[in-house]
A and B are shown apart, each in its own frame.
Chain A
């Protein structure tokens, strides 16, 4: 299953010929993408281009009609059955998902649980850790995102930027092999964007594998090893940031960048 990756490291996430459509509308139209371990990939593109759907296919929140996704060589959501792919049971899919972190645009923290419980719940529920260890881990992770003093608060008592940092800590608590960010700063006030980007930057430099769907082109240039431009459900162009952003080869990339830069 292993493929040649840009940085020579083994592939963490492989997306192979993924097609997805809602009714007659094609959202993903044959996506092939390889993310190497430790690589930071930024996905950019106009709204409705299929960026978010691609992320949701990777952790199997959406099932692709054709094609498959694998994490560290293991197929996600399906298993090989001779020449065909068969859907796995929900229990197995849930276990696979717990190894893929997902950070939502709208945070989606659990409002009835404290910040600490939001972070500590999943490792306990999935059987990864016992409660005391999970709480210790949660304290450590919350300190890492700069929220050591808000562990007892409820999510609605926090600002948007603080909530998103809790959401990142919650994703980290399962020690995922890859973390997917779905426009993590789009729901934030401009002055709160920086604190969330700082946390993601910290993850990027510490060697985590990240796939970030974002509209922050400047941030993508700074943290990403590779930029993937998607339009109309296809990857139009991909490459190192300076190449894709400064010297785009495809006219659609040029047109998009001229509108957002």
Chain B
């Protein structure tokens, strides 16, 4: 390792060897090294010479090990008959599976939107000046973060047994509108309501954190300009809060996509539900069926991650001096750099 302590110089240049280091490193006179090196290069001062980058052999070795291990896993995935890739291919786009996928998407989309709306309202209530609203919001969040989602869903599923009709009217008094609970509460509605109630509690905290992350000076500037309250929130505070909200909410959303697999317990056949029921009908195909579910969930998560990238980029306008390049821009820049390098090296 002692050599790396010395300034890196091209091979062939005269320089005091490591053992003679204590001596002041005066450059050797040109005539002393005559014949040993290119005289022109030796005459150049050390400060004007190109610095060779430090080598990292350790990195290369670990990378090689990881690549070999990765290749082994991939090879095993492809060649192990246990995975039954032919059956995977058969099931992957079967209507029974895609119908389930559609239900998963539907439940996710409704719950994500309703959950976010509820979350924003709860966060605003939590941050409001009214102690009653603050307390209600706190209670709601406390309750729904405490109860497991599956319990909420099963409760709602049995709700129609507890309350046969829902009515709208004067509190404790006459009712104008009646709903038959058993008609209102389809399996889809039960699933969406359960997931939204749960999602809103978590989204509320995500949104609240985002609002708190906005600088106090922004609130003051908006108040000093006399901007109306609603404008202050919608145009000044919330867009800046979104920058902090998006990564956490997407995290939440990915959790939601996977939580939808619980709706199977309220007899809704989502992606997981379909896989599960097909698996009990064709027990031999359980592994490829689980692979089908895995791959679809991975695809859904990937799509959400891509949307996240562009949303984050959009809401970082003004927060960063220059926006991060999109993958397409990065690819284009990379290709140009590669072409330039190839040209440079082939020109010699």
Instruction: List chain A positions with a Cβ less than 8 A from chain B.
Output: 59, 61, 90-91, 94-100, 102, 104, 106, 108-114, 121-122, 125-126, 154-157, 170-171, 174
Of residues 234 through 284 on chain B, the ones whose CB sits less than 8 Å from some CB of chain A are 235-236, 239-240
Within 8 A of A (CB), among B271-324: 315, 317-321
Flag the segment in B34-42, B156-164, B197-205, B222-230 that touches A. Answer: B222-230
Name the residue of chain A whose CB is nearest to the CB of B317. A112
Q: Is the CB of A154 within 8 A of B226?
A: no
Nearest-CB distance from A15 to chain B (Å)? 17
Q: How far is the CA of A224 from the CA of B319 in the complex (A)?
A: 37
CA distance A106 to B217 in the complex (A): 8
Q: A156-B319, A156-B321, A157-B321 are in contact. Are A110 and B221 (CB under 8 A)?
A: yes
Contact status A111-B240, CB under 8 Å: yes
Question: Total interface residues on B, using CB and 8 Å?
Answer: 24
Total cross-chain contacts (CB, 8 A): 79
Cross-chain contact B225 with A122 (CB below 8 angstroms): yes
> Which residues on B are within 8 Å of A, measured CB to CB?
215, 217-218, 220-229, 231, 235-236, 239-240, 315, 317-321
Contact A113 B318 (CB under 8 A): yes
With contacts A94-B228, A121-B235, A125-B231 known, is A108 near B317, CB below 8 A?
no
Across the interface, A126 reaches (CB within 8 A) one of B227, B235, B236, B239, namely B227
Q: What are 21 A-B contacts defined by CB distance under 8 Å?
A: A61-B224, A90-B229, A94-B226, A94-B227, A94-B228, A94-B229, A95-B226, A104-B220, A104-B221, A108-B218, A108-B220, A109-B221, A110-B218, A111-B319, A112-B240, A112-B318, A125-B227, A125-B235, A154-B318, A155-B318, A157-B321
Residues of A within 8 A of B317 (CB): 112, 154
Name the distance in Å between A74's Cβ and chain B's nearest Cβ. Answer: 14
User: Shortest CB–CB separation between residue A176 and chain B, in angstroms?
Assistant: 10
Contact: B223 with A61, CB < 8 Å? yes
Q: Contact check, B227 vs A112: say whether CB atoms are below 8 A apart.
A: no
